[in-house]
Amino acid sequence: MVHLSADECKDVSAVFSKVNVDQLGGESLASLLIVYPWTRRHFKTFGNLSSTDAILHNAKVQAHGAKVLGAVRDALKHVANLGGHFAHLSDLHCQQLFVDPANFKLFAGIVSIRVGQTMRQAYTPHVQASFEKFLDAVTDALAKGYH
Amino acid sequence: MTLTTADKALVVSIFGKVSSHKEAYGAEALFRLFSSFGQSKTYFSHFDLSQGSADLKRHGAKVLGALGEAASHLDNLDQALSKLSDLHAYNLRVDPANFQLLSHSIQVTLAAHFPADFTPEAQSAWDKFISAVSGVLTSKYR
């Protein structure tokens, strides 16, 4: 299990306070579908995902991305038991949607890049390391449903 | 995986903005790599890994310089990177997983310095580009 120190939690909290979570979530999900096109197969009910432009203007993508990043942000309060906190969502992703856990890491990577784009030099290597450690812990918890 | 004309243009245009900051941005990308992925330090026991060190600046410039070379030879990466490919295969033997980690660190650095330019399309182009370069560098591993 991943342990985040108090300082690391503070870094993560600071990141979430400096970004617009809804907007960043929407942009991150859109970017995932653009940069890694094979991920589109999990979102067949979202309508038009056939081009970069269509994806960037897709309201369902924006809404779902906002939901996902909101859930990641809220998970910070449960960092001592992410496995338990995400048990239901993990089952959903792993037992019903059959999402390859590698995709969680791809999404986390994109979120980190987008945070860098937003916070620029304020996203120091140190803060990035804390934030990515947290995202790692979240993605690991989500992948638990496979075992 | 092929780079489209649009991809190539995005790689070249962003690299144009990077080329006068190779030391600073290269050092930053490396320091981000070591901060987030401690395992990558294994290849640099002979380096001063502190932020902004001369070692990081020198090596960072070298890495970004090689990417710049690659960016000018996008239609012939195999040949352009042949010597580096030999170096990584027979001498350095960097675990292939690390190329992805460095790619990510470079992309965070680019996004932080060029927020307006690093659109999803630009990210896609750079992800593919660095992936292609990494592929060549690991092509002779076995």
Answer with the residue of higher pLDDT: A2 or A36. Answer: A36
> Quick one: average pLDDT of B80-84?
96
Q: Is the pTM of this model over 0.80?
A: yes
Q: How many CB atoms lie within 10 A of CB B101?
A: 18
Long-range contacts of A9-14 (CB under 8 A, 24+ apart): A9/A76, A9/A79, A9/A130, A9/A134, A11/A126, A11/A127, A11/A130, A11/A131, A12/A76, A12/A130, A12/A131, A12/A134, A13/A76, A14/A127
pLDDT digit string, tens, across residues B40-66: 999 999 999 999 999 999 999 999 999
Identify the pLDDT of residue A123.
Answer: 98
ipTM, two decimals: 0.91
Nearest to A31 among B108, B112, B123 (CB): B123
Q: Write out chain A residues lying below 8 Å of B109, CB-based.
A: 116
Interchain contact, B108 vs A112, CB within 8 Å: yes
Per-residue pLDDT for B138 more than 90? Answer: yes
Q: Does A125 touch chain B (CB under 8 A)?
A: yes
Identify the pLDDT of residue A139.
Answer: 96
Interface test with B, best of A7, A32, A113, A126 (most B CBs within 10 A): A113
SS3 content of chain A, % helix, strand, coil (to 5): 85, 0, 15
Answer with the residue of higher pLDDT: A96 or A107. Answer: A107
Query: Confidence band (pLDDT; 50, 70, 90) for A1?
Result: low
Q: Does B75 touch chain A (CB under 8 A)?
A: no
Distance between CA atoms of B31 and B36, rounded to whole angstroms? Answer: 9
Q: Is A101 exposed, middle or buried (0-12, 13-18, 19+ CB in 10 A)?
A: middle
Q: Write out chain A residues lying below 8 Å of B31, CB-based.
A: 125
Task: Output the DSSP codes for A7-31.
Answer: HHHHHHHHHHHHS-HHHHHHHHHHH
Distance from CA of B54 to the nearest CA of A (A): 18
Of A69-78, A88-97, A102-111, B70-79, the one with minimum mean pLDDT is A88-97
Nearest to B120 among A34, A118, A125 (CB): A34
> Quick one: average pLDDT of A96-119?
95
Interchain contact, A121 vs B118, CB within 8 Å: no
Q: Write out chain B residues lying below 8 Å of A110, CB-based.
A: 123
Q: Which residue of B has its CA nearest to A112?
A: B108
Q: Does B101 touch chain A (CB under 8 A)?
A: no
pLDDT digit string, tens, across residues B3-36: 999 999 999 999 999 999 999 999 999 999 999 9
Distance between CA atoms of A70 and A22, rounded to whole angstroms? Answer: 7
Distance between CA atoms of B48 and B54, rounded to whole angstroms? Answer: 8
Interchain contact, B123 vs A113, CB within 8 Å: yes
Q: Mean pLDDT score of chain A, rounded to an integer?
A: 95
pLDDT digit string, tens, across residues B87-106: 999 999 999 999 999 999 99
Q: Write out chain B residues lying below 8 Å of A11, CB-based.
A: none
> Quick one: average pLDDT of A58-64?
98
Nearest to B32 among A27, A56, A128 (CB): A128
Distance between CA atoms of A76 and A90, rounded to whole angstroms? Answer: 16
Q: Write out chain B residues lying below 8 Å of A117, CB-based.
A: 111-112, 115, 118
Task: Output the DSSP codes for B48-83.
Answer: --STT-HHHHHHHHHHHHHHHHHHTTTT-HHHHTHH
Interchain contact, B112 vs A132, CB within 8 Å: no
